[in-house]
A and B are shown apart, each in its own frame.
Chain A
Amino acid sequence: MPTINAENAKSIRTPFQVHCGLSKITDEDLTFVGTNYKAMGELQTDKDLINLDDLSGGGFPLDGSCVSYDPATMSEGIGMRSNAGAGMTLKVTCATIIPAITIRGRGIGEITDGTTTYEFRDGLVFPFNAKTKTFTITNDDPDDRIEIESVYPGVEFEIDNTNLISCVVSLRSDLTLVNPQWPASEIEINAYWPDDIITAISSMSDGTRIYYYSGYDDDRSETRYFYLSEKADVQKNVLTLKGQDASSKLDRDCAAETVYSEMRYAHRDMYNKMIKYITDAGIKLRKKESAPGAIGSTKTKNLLLFEKENARDLVASIMSLSHVNLTSIGGTYFWPVFVDAGIPSVRRTKPTSKWDIYEADCGDVVRSADRNIRTLKADDSTFGLVSSCSVGKKIKVETFGSCIKGKSTHKKVENDRYFANMTVTPGKVTSQTANEVTFIPGQFYKIVHEKHYRLSKRRYHGKRKKVAYYIKKKVKVSVGSVTLYGYPINNDISSQSKTYNRPGVTQPISVISHGKAIAGSSGNNMIVYPAYDCVFAQSNITGSFTWKGDPRMQPRDVFTFHRLDGHTEICTLETITLTHEGGGTSAAITYRLGVV
């Protein structure tokens, strides 16, 4: 069996097998009634057809792959099989109106609902738009059967080398030294599709999942998932699918939040914070390196305050400003990275070279050098490139009136002041950011003056009179005022710029936080975030080239670039655009020198 490495070492390699498609299978239960069939079992199933000892079409192979059919115990994997050389009918019913069904199966013939007729084939998408339909399937092979493997509500397109026209997979990271923009990874698939499926695909919404993998049978890329970003389209039998990776979910604002971390756990807290920004955006991580252990035992806390910011910028900032070598304080390299590219994953150890690429195999090799950065300067005067952040003494923040006992209430702190460890009285805080709080008010009380009567001591005309008096009493009420307490966060700007002693340019940088996360002990510590030194330490050399490509490669993978003059360079892959077209595959790669 060919492997990607072995094939890539050849001048002409065996073409990759490309598999991609889209699945929008829905949850409705279908019922089936068939007539004129030879065998029929479960049809709404994932199971492939079982090879039965079927004498049609010239018999069955005596290689042990076929089993005897037992109608009493076999249901899944039987599908629906016609008599040899004959057709059959299938009535499909659903409780609700569904737009389309996808039929998997094999055989030569046609399928019709009386109005629309398609050639019968595997992965056929048939418009439904009804609760029930009866399909007639004809059989053009006089010796063989028509076999239906499964029938699903919804749409499923499976595309491979037989019908693929082109597939362009753009996997991206952003290794820009400052203010990375980090665009989403994308896929665009163009495939030949023989049927008129325009009505079936019109119901597919954004977010429908597209899958992609390629390589060889025993050596292929992991399956990458993208999400339909534009309406699927069919023009002249060419189906076009466009999708983006899940990182587009990061385009949301996150409330201002604090990281109040002990020095022994600063790096761990930053890693967990990055993961939280990603998962809170709704991205399900498929790979996650475990959080790092403690460095030392110092419990001194440092405060870091992230302003309200876009989640993508927050994650990008942690990735680009906290790649630090913590070995001098008893840790390891801390290298938090999030890569989506269809396989959302996070890691925190410094990567090593994973691939070898030879310049002799590459074309269009371009190498360029940016000007070195000498000074980084905050682009907002309210932020310090170096700043401190601390908490003051607990104060009463404000009072919220007309709160209802037991009803979850969300409030924003007036004037966007920032606080840590907020509490409410009466009640309980259920969640908080630096300037917003959600709480459940407790029991409210009200002082009432209860009216009572007693007989007067004096007699009036010989009689005692009733005299009113009042007793103060605390009674329970369900509406009242809640007082918010918190520790005010104070931050100051120590310096708005940072300079590295070398010739170069001044580069403005977006700062989105106050304070810093510091790891280690008080006498031996390092800033984990924001560590501007890691910006200065990055190489200013970037490059690009075209290559035969490897679908297993990911942005931010490290590779060894074997140059024509014999020396090697360790580089980090920034983007890789794989193009499968005309039976071949090529890749356009951009990179930055060094491990980023």
Chain B
Amino acid sequence: MAWIDPVMDRTGGEYMTADDCNRITGNIKYLDSNAVVPSDVTDNDILTTWLSVVETAIQTMCLNLGLPGNGMTTAWTYDNINKIESLIQSCYERVGLLRKQNLLTVYSGELYSGQGDYYVGGY
């Protein structure tokens, strides 16, 4: 499942399409392959529990990553979908950071210094 950049700049007048739905669920799966999300939808679908399942998955993911997962509503508004995709983007960034940290593991007793996103560890 490849990551697709979320759309977070809707300003009104937009439509929710099958591509939007599948991008959102695909990105969640990208971040957490165990996440429970609706399967891919097509242009023939009428959504039933899609929004609530997706929002639950995002909240779970935020909780695991230590991110605030609130602010989502049950409405099909561009604001709410922007919020959903923004939270997914935040999760993506946090996961990215954790992956980098994992690569740069340091052990006690070792002297290490760094800069930028990487913090300094050791005694």
Q: Is the CB of B43 within 8 A of A55?
A: yes
Chain B residues closer than 8 Å to A282, beta-carbon distance: none
CB atoms of A58 and B15 under 8 A apart: yes
Verify if B8 is at the interface (C-beta below 8 Å from A): no
Contact A55–B21 (Cβ < 8 Å): yes
A38 and B46 contact, Cβ closer than 8 Å, known pairs A53-B76, A64-B75:
yes
Which residues in window 38-76 of A have CB below 8 A to B? 38-39, 52-71
Contact A60:B44 (CB < 8 A) given known A55-B21, A68-B49: no
A55 to B51, CA, bound (A): 13
A62 in contact with B49 (CB, 8 Å): no
Contact A69 B15 (CB under 8 A): no
Quick check: is A84 within 8 A (CB to CB) of the other chain?
Answer: yes
Q: Are B47 and A69 in contact (CB under 8 A)?
A: yes
Known: A55-B41, A60-B76, A63-B12. A68 touches B48 (CB 8 A): yes
Q: Is B42 an interface residue (CB 8 A)?
A: yes
Q: Does A242 contact B (CB under 8 A)?
A: no
Known contacts A61-B15, A68-B50, A69-B48; A55 and B76 CB within 8 A of each other: no
Considering the chains assembled together, what is the distance between the CA atoms of A361 and B90 in angstroms? Answer: 66
Whether the Cβ atoms of B77 and A53 lie closer than 8 Å is: no
The closest CB in chain B to the CB of A84 belongs to B44
| A62-B14, A62-B76, A64-B77 as given contacts; A56 in contact with B43, CB under 8 Å | yes
Number of chain A residues close to chain B: CB under 8 A: 27
A60 lies within 8 A of B48 (CB): no
Tell me if A69 and B46 are in contact (CB < 8 A): yes
Candidates B14, B44, B80; contact of A56 at CB < 8 Å = B44
Known contacts A60-B76, A66-B76, A68-B51; A81/B46 CB under 8 A: yes
Q: Contact partner of B46 among A52, A62, A63, A85, CB < 8 A?
A: A52
Bound-complex Cα distance A87 to B59 (A): 40
Query: B42 near A62 (CB under 8 angstroms)?
Result: no
Quick check: is B110 within 8 A (CB to CB) of the other chain?
no
**B residues near A71, Cβ cutoff 8 Å:** 48
C-alpha gap A558/B15 in the complex (Å)? 52
Q: Are A53 and B46 in contact (CB under 8 A)?
A: yes
Cα-based distance from A58 to B52 in the complex (angstroms): 22
Decide: A68 near B44, CB < 8 A? Known: A53-B16, A60-B76: no
Asked if B24 lies at the interface with its beta carbon under 8 angstroms from chain A, I say: no
The verdict on A53 contacting B50 (CB below 8 Å), with A38-B44, A59-B20 known, is yes
A465 to chain B, nearest CB (A): 107
- Chain B residues within an 8 Å CB radius of A38: 44, 46
Q: Is A230 an interface residue (CB 8 A)?
A: no
* Chain B residues positioned under 8 Å from A380 (CB to CB): none
Q: Which of A154-189 contact B (CB under 8 A)?
A: none
Contact A62 B10, CB 8 Å, known A55-B18, A67-B76, A84-B43: yes
Interface of A is mostly: loop
A83 at the B interface (CB under 8 A): yes
Determine if A39 and B16 form an interchain contact, defined as CB atoms under 8 angstroms apart: no
Find the residue from B42, B45, B81 having the highest chain A CB count within 10 A.
Answer: B45
B17 within 8 A of A: yes
Question: How many residues on chain B are close to A (CB under 8 Å)?
Answer: 29
State whether A55 touches B46 (Cβ < 8 A): yes
Interchain CB contact under 8 A, B49 and A59:
no
- Is B30 an interface position by the 8 A CB rule? no
Task: Tell me which residues from 1 to 57 in chain B have a Cβ below 8 Å from any Cβ of chain A.
Answer: 10, 12-18, 20-21, 41-52
What's the nearest-Cβ distance from chain B to residue A527, in Å? 69
Asked whether, in the complex, the Cβ of A55 is within 8 Å of the Cβ of B17, the reply is yes
**B48–A62 CB distance below 8 A:** no
Give the residue name and chain of the B residue nearest to A83 (CB).
Answer: B44
Whether A60 contacts B16 in the complex (CB less than 8 A), given A39-B46, A55-B47, A69-B48, comes out as yes
Chain A residues contacting B12 (CB-CB under 8 Å) are 62-63
Question: In the assembly, what is the distance between CA of A579 and CA of B42, in Å?
Answer: 51
**Shortest beta-carbon distance, A431 to chain B, in Å?**
62
Question: Measured between C-beta atoms, what is the minimum distance from A581 to chain B in Å?
Answer: 38
Using CB atoms, name the residue of chain A closest to B48: A69
Closest to A71 in B: B48
Does A289 touch B at the CB level, under 8 Å?
no
Task: Indicate if the CB atoms of A59 and B76 lie closer than 8 Å.
Answer: no
Given A62-B15, A62-B76, A62-B77, A68:B43 Cβ within 8 A: no
| Known contacts A53-B16, A55-B21, A67-B76: A62-B81 contact under CB 8 Å | yes
Q: A60-B16, A63-B12, A68-B49 are in contact. Are A55 and B78 (CB under 8 A)?
A: no
> Is A356 in the interface zone, CB < 8 Å from B?
no
Q: Is the CB of B44 within 8 A of A55?
A: yes
CB atoms of B17 and A58 under 8 A apart: yes
Considering the complex, give the chain B residue whose CB is closest to the CB of A52. B46
Give min CB distance, A141 to chain B, whole Å: 12
Question: Using an 8 Å CB-CB cutoff, how does the interface string of B68-110 with A read, 1 for contact, 0 for none?
Answer: 0000001111101100000000000000000000000000000
Partner of A63, one of B41, B44, B45, B77: B77
Interface: A143 (CB within 8 A): yes
Q: Which residues of B contact A85 (CB under 8 A)?
A: 44
Nearest-neighbor residue (CB-CB) of A74 within chain B: B48
9 example contacts (A-B, Cβ-Cβ < 8 A) are as follows A52-B46, A53-B46, A59-B15, A61-B13, A61-B15, A61-B16, A62-B76, A68-B48, A71-B48
9 additional A-B pairs beyond A56-B44, A61-B14, A65-B76, beta carbons within 8 Å, are A55-B21, A56-B46, A59-B18, A59-B20, A62-B78, A62-B80, A68-B50, A68-B74, A84-B44
Top 7 nearest A-B pairs (CB, nearest first) are: A59-B15, A59-B17, A62-B78, A53-B47, A84-B44, A64-B77, A55-B18
